A and B are shown apart, each in its own frame.
Chain A
């Protein structure tokens, strides 16, 4: 994957669009977990959500900066 991505003539680090995509993914996953009631098995939902987001975000990013 490239270091930079170009959208309509503007160049930005690829991290930026990844962040946006991951944010959307996070909202979806969050609502699914809340629907199924899986949060009952989680000790601290707030902390869990943040940690989940970090995992989702870092995995594609590590592919770029390997």
Chain B
């Protein structure tokens, strides 16, 4: 009797521990795979690519690497001499056109006052139209002067916003082309975090929910909230070919990994003593609203 009791007890102890282990294991698996967190988060910032509106030699670089600049501060200047010459030239042309216009005007006034016996009708009409032509030509040169002034003004490149100059490689004496970016500026207060969440976790996330970012290698917790969720990512199995036809990858794997969707997180609070740098890594966990209520 006692022997059978011990036999049953043996089975009972073992199987209950095994059952508990299976239960806890499944629960942990479920929580690990399906809770709203990711270790793949990146700090990002808005970067302005500063490019000049005119070509020319760089005559002055007014900032140093990593310098903080205010909106409107001079960043660098392009040699002005050419633009000053252009302005002087257009001004001179403008004067010429103005004189021509005045001359035509006087001519017309004179001819308009004379009788039909002295000046023909045709001559008078021509004189009137010549005034219009001269006026249009003069006005054209006025806009040319304005453009030349604009070029001169734009030869000084100024900061479009508050921020930091980053990775400054431009030097005095470089020749730079119009529209070519040579300076990157990180906009102040434009930092945000992109949390790359697996697609299966996306249904757990909602806009407005609190997010906690643990910065890699530190104990700092940056707080924020979900601002938006990306509406689309690229289809890696269908890269359109040159003739815009579908190019579907014929290989398909048995084991599939969840793709990652960027979730934009607005930063609300940065702990004191911690400097945010664009490109930093962090793990993001979302505090779900339902949990908070409980």
Contacts and interface: CB of A to CB of B under 8 A. Distances in A.
Given A3-B37, A3-B283, A4-B283, A58 B27 contact: yes
Contacts of B219: 2, 6
Interface string A1-31: 0111010011101000000000000000000
B12 to A, nearest CB: 9
Contact of B21 (A3, A13, A50): A50
B19 to A, nearest CB: 8
Contacts of B17: 48, 51-52, 55
Given A43-B13, A47-B14, A51-B20, 12 more contacts: A3-B39, A3-B214, A9-B217, A44-B14, A47-B18, A50-B21, A51-B14, A51-B21, A54-B22, A58-B25, A58-B27, A58-B28
Interface string B1-35: 00000100111011101101110110110011001
B25 A62 contact: no
B285 interface: yes
Interface in B27-51: 27-28, 31-32, 35, 37, 39
Interface of A: 2-4, 6, 9-11, 13, 41-44, 47-48, 50-52, 54-55, 58-59, 61-62, 65-66
Nearest to B14: A43
Contacts, number: 74
B251 interface: no
B24 A11 contact: no
Interface residues of B, number: 28
A3 B14 contact: no
Interface in B194-224: 214, 216-219
Contact of A42 (B10, B22, B283): B10
16 contacts: A2-B219, A3-B37, A3-B39, A6-B216, A9-B217, A11-B216, A13-B39, A41-B6, A48-B17, A51-B18, A51-B20, A55-B24, A58-B25, A62-B24, A62-B28, A65-B31
